[in-house]
Amino acid sequence: MTSQTNQPLYAARTPIFPRRVNGFFRRFKWWIMAVTLGIYYLTPWLRWDRGVSLPDQAVLIDLANRRFYFLWIEIWPHEFYFVAGLLIMAGLGLFLFTSALGRVWCGYTCPQTVWTDLFLLVERWIEGDRNARLRLHKATWDVRKWRLRLTKWAVWLMIAVATGGAWVFYFTDAPTLLRDLLSFDSHPAAYITIAILTATTFIFGGFLREQVCIYMCPWPRIQAAMMDPDTITVAYRDWRGEPRGKGNVKNRKAAEAQKAVAEAQAAGAGVARYAGTPYPGKEAQPATPPKLDIANEHGDCIDCMACVNVCPMGIDIRNGQQMECITCALCIDACDDVMARIGKPRGLIDYLALSDEPAERAGAAPKPLWRHILRPRTILYTVMWLLVGVGLLYALFIRSDIELTVSPVRNPTFVVLSDGDVRNIYDVRLRNKAGEERVFRLSLSSDALMRIALEGSDNLNVAVPADTTVLQRVYVTARAGDPAASADSTALRLWVEDVTAQIRASKATTFNGRGAQ
Amino acid sequence: MSKRKTDKVTGVETTGHNWDGIEELNNPLPRWWLWTLYLTIIWAIGYTIAYPAWPMISGATSGVMGWSTRANVAADIAAHENTNADLVAQLVASDMPALPEDPDLNRYAIARGGAVFRANCSQCHGSGAAGAKGYPNLLDDDWLWGGDVEQIMTTVRHGIRNTIDDDALYSEMPAFEDILEPAEIDAVVEHVVSLSSTEFDAALAEQGAVVYADNCSSCHGDAGLGMRDLGAPNLADAIWLYGGDRDTLRITVEKARFGVMPPWGPRLKEADIRAVSAYVHSLGGGE
Ligand code: SF4
Ligand code: SF4
């Protein structure tokens, strides 16, 4: 029998009020936010001259005409493998970064993180920092609370509309669409898309935040498969911090630390330990020996909760690796700040590899960074990523401006003419990817003697307008009595040639005779 | 009520469930998840009211939105017809032999004709228009009644040897088993074989030539080249509607052939008749 307890099946969300934090990683994240948002909002406005018949947009997904334009590259539907290849590269890149550096994608560039950060910025700007927000949360709904909440929601909504609005610009000429949107004669699909993306941005960025990362996103559960003890991830050096406690009186500690550093430096040993990894703009602080064993049983953590209060996921990193942690490193900044104030070296919480723990515990130097990052698994991901990339580049450069596909008509496989000649029909698609009309001349080459003729035309020239595909029926005839007329199949190659530009392309196919009868 | 237990390592309450010492932690789902479930249920109910959903004895509930795929398709078709109304009018008014000079209209006619063909003609002539025994191959260059687009249009409109349309193309070959002796039939068959083949019994064919001149040449011509006014096939080429071997030819001479095609004038729109004629003409044998 199990005990009968009254437990809830569903839990209300515990609101999180992340505190403001300053530091290297916070600044780095602001920069990344500026760059990624800039890319997102500005890309559709980049212009690119594509001639008269096409929109002058540098990046355009033209669903109606099934074309994808990226700067000078133009992808046709049959070249969709480029998009598939890029997606594979994105996937492999994510594997590579996760296995080397943990969830850097989540912590820095994931849209959910970027927009949540932006929304938090607004929230802090309007309602104040953590304590003020906590108080407001508990306050009754008076005029002030309503005013602050409504202001916040209004700003969020503006950001959300701008977010949804920017998305649709990728699919059609941006300036035209903007004008149509403002004068309310755009296609309903544009408004519906904007409405949906506005709603999701508003709800996900404003209200669901960490819930998206924990419950909706599959990545936290998948990424564990890419990480191992060598992965660099955010962790708490518990062997240095524990047992935590407020017993670390700031001044005494600082004095002792300085003394110990002087001693250690004089002895010239154990200097590297606990130094933490210096980052640009973040000075390497004087190293201290592991334990200042002077009538004090406490570790370096003073249990100030700064790391917990800044965490946007609402977790305590000192409890060890957790699925919720997005390695945003804000707790590193927060704790480094505390360490500086109590005169300890930075890096109690740090980007580190868990496999270094025994070495650090024993006072030995950790493995150098490159040894963590360069390992079979990351090398394999890199090689795979490069293979796909090089393959795509190669495919991009061998693409020709003219292309043809040949589909032999197999219903029927051949036609006998009244004079006994045997004729095959081919549906030839001629693709002109250039910006102007071109005239293609068709011809055939084969060991057998055969004639070529075009349906509805006296000559062998086909005019193909700019950026279009033309379907042309082609007749190939073998004389009665010729081996090709009676053989089961004969090899044949159809050629197209741009009459003026001297570009040729060809496709091999076969000619069906009457067979053995 | 027993006291709630808490897992030491995680600090999370357990559900009290215990399997061989392994305890289940109680990590409840977020409440908005539950709301989402309720919302989908409410949505589903509204959906079945708004749209056709519940199966009844005959048909299903029709929904308050008046939504119907059939009506949508009809509207789509009407919209298409509407956008193409210009082309249809041009096609109906066009001079058919000059159609290829207007590439847009020609492309439209052939595309539309292909659809008409697959729906109405492919049952006999095959989806690839290669025909079958007794049903002419429309891809080759041999035509019983003529292969220019005007003639094809006449054939489509009125059909062949049917009793429905008074203007149907009509001809009848007599059954010669009551007219000729068996030996004469053998001879005339050998003569017909000789018209298109190099392997034949010269003496017998010589006899047959006489029989042919008396009985067959009035329709099939002295040299066996056929006569399109009567739909009499060319016997000297490589194409046989029913087969060119001696046994088949003997049956043809003895019993005669009488291929019938229905008139499409009463069933197809004018634009469709023109379109399908343009399509057939474009298949490779058009004259
Ligand atoms: S911020 Fe640093 S010192 Fe403060 S509780 Fe967290 S780990 Fe301990
Ligand atoms: S514990 Fe929180 S603050 Fe620290 S890296 Fe993870 S998610 Fe960021």
Residues of B in contact with A7 (CB under 8 A): 4, 13, 15-16, 26, 28
CA distance B11 to A26: 31
Count of residues in chain B: 287
B31, A455: Cβ pair inside 8 Å? Answer: no
Closest C-alpha to ligand 1, atom 3: A301
Q: Kindly report the nearest CA distance between residue B143 and chain A, in angstroms.
A: 10
DSSP label at residue B224: S
Q: What is the 3-state secondary structure (H, E, C) of A377-395?
A: HHHHHHHHHHHHHHHHHHH
- Spatial neighbors of A77 by CB under 8 A, at least 6 apart, are A66
- B28·A11 Cβ contact <8 A: yes
CB pairs under 8 A between A and B: 95
Q: How far apart are the CA of A253 and the centre of ligand 2, in A?
A: 27
Contact B49, B63 (CB under 8 A): yes
Q: Match 């060809």 to its residue by tokens.
A: A506
Report whether B219 belongs to an annotated binding site.
Answer: yes
Alpha helix (H) residue ranges in A139-282: 143-168, 174-182, 188-203, 210-211, 219-223, 238-241, 250-267
CATH number for the segment(s) B82-167+266-285: 1.10.760.10
Q: Fold identical between B82-167+266-285 and B182-255?
A: yes
Task: Please tell me the residue having the least CA distance from ligand 2 atom 8.
Answer: A328
Walk me through the domains of chain A, giving residue ranges and CATH numbers. 24-85+97-226 (no CATH), 402-512 (2.60.40.10)
- The reported pLDDT for the residue numbered A448 is 84
Query: For B138, which residue in chain A has the nearest alpha carbon?
Result: A415
How is chain B split into domains, by residue range? 82-167+266-285, 182-255
- Put simply, the answer to whether A416 touches B31 (Cβ < 8 Å) is no
Could you report the predicted ipTM of this complex, rounded to two decimals? Answer: 0.77
User: In CATH, which of 3.30.70.20, 1.10.287.110, 3.90.180.10, 1.10.760.10 is domain B182-255?
Assistant: 1.10.760.10
Which residues face A359 on adjacent strands? none
**pLDDT at res. A263:** 60
Mean pLDDT lowest among A239-243, A283-287, B5-9, B229-233: A283-287
Judge if the beta carbon of residue A313 lies within 6 A of ligand 2: yes
CA angle A457, A78, A465 (to 5 degrees): 35
pLDDT digits (tens, 9 = 90+) for A186-222: 889 999 999 999 999 999 999 999 999 998 999 888 8
Angle at the Cα of A458 (from A456 to A461), degrees rounded to 5?
Answer: 90
Query: Which residues sit opposite A461 in a β-bridge?
Result: A441
Ligand found nearest the CA of A347:
1
Beta-carbon contacts of residue A261 (< 8 Å; ≥ 6 apart): A286, A287, A288
Chain-chain contact of B31 with A11 (C-beta, under 8 angstroms) = yes
| Model confidence pLDDT, tens digit, residues A405-433 | 999 998 889 999 988 899 999 999 998 88
pLDDT tens for each residue of chain A, 517 residues long: 344 456 677 888 888 999 999 999 999 999 999 999 999 999 999 988 877 677 888 999 988 888 888 888 888 888 888 889 999 999 999 999 999 998 899 999 999 999 999 999 999 999 999 999 999 999 999 999 999 999 999 999 999 999 999 999 999 888 889 999 988 888 899 999 999 999 999 999 999 999 999 989 998 888 888 888 999 999 999 888 888 876 555 555 555 655 665 565 555 443 333 445 555 555 555 444 444 444 456 788 989 999 999 999 999 999 888 889 999 999 999 999 999 988 888 889 999 998 888 888 888 888 888 888 899 999 999 999 999 999 999 988 887 778 889 999 988 899 999 888 999 999 999 988 877 888 999 999 988 889 999 988 888 999 888 878 888 999 999 998 888 888 888 999 999 998 887 888 899 999 999 875 5
Q: How confident is the model at residue B227 (pLDDT cuts 50, 70, 90)?
A: very high
* C-alpha A289 to ligand 2 mean position (Å): 27
Residues within 6 Å of ligand 1 by CB: A 241, 244, 301-307, 318, 334-335, 338, 348-349
Q: Is A114 in the pocket of ligand 2 (CB under 6 A)?
A: no
User: Are the C-beta atoms of B239 and B137 separated by less than 8 Å?
Assistant: yes
- Distance of CA B10 from the midpoint of ligand 2 (Å): 18
Closest atom of ligand 1 to CA, residue A316:
6
Evaluate: CB of A315 within 6 angstroms of ligand 2.
yes
Ligand 1 centroid to A301 CA: how many Å?
5
Rounded to 5°, angle at Cα A89 from A88 and A95: 90
Assess whether the C-beta atom of A330 lies below 6 angstroms from ligand 2: yes
Q: What is the pLDDT of residues B141-196, one digit of tens each?
A: 999 999 999 999 999 999 999 999 999 999 999 999 999 999 999 999 999 999 98
| CA-A236 nearest atom, ligand 1 | 7
Cβ within 8 Å, pair A418-B33: no
- Distance, CA A371 to ligand 1 centroid (Å)? 29
Provide, as residue numbers in chain A, all residues whose Cβ is less than 8 Å from the Cβ of B137. Answer: 412, 415
CB-CB under 8 Å, B4 with A417: no
Report the alpha-carbon distance of residue A430 to residue B76 in Å, rounded: 30
DSSP state of B56: -
B284–chain A Cβ distance below 8 A for any pair: yes
Q: Does B254 have pLDDT greater than 80?
A: yes
- Residues contacting B80, CB < 8 A, separation 6+: none
Q: Whose CA is nearest to atom 7 of ligand 1?
A: A301
> Is the CB of residue A113 below 6 angstroms from any atom belonging to ligand 2?
no
Strands B29-30 and A10-11 come out as parallel
Can you point out the beta strands (E) in chain B? 14-19, 22-25, 29-30
Give the Å distances, CA to CA, from A500 to A14, A156, A504, B162, B181: 71, 58, 11, 55, 69
B120 in Cβ contact with B106 (< 8 Å): no
> What is this structure's pTM?
0.72
Please check if B121 is assigned to a binding site. yes
Residues of chain B above pLDDT 90, percent: 74
Q: What is the pLDDT of residue B256?
A: 93
Task: Report how far residue B195's alpha carbon sits from residue A244's, in angstroms, rounded to the nearest whole number.
Answer: 111
- A285 CA from centroid of ligand 2 (Å): 23
Distance CA A331, CA A338 (A): 11
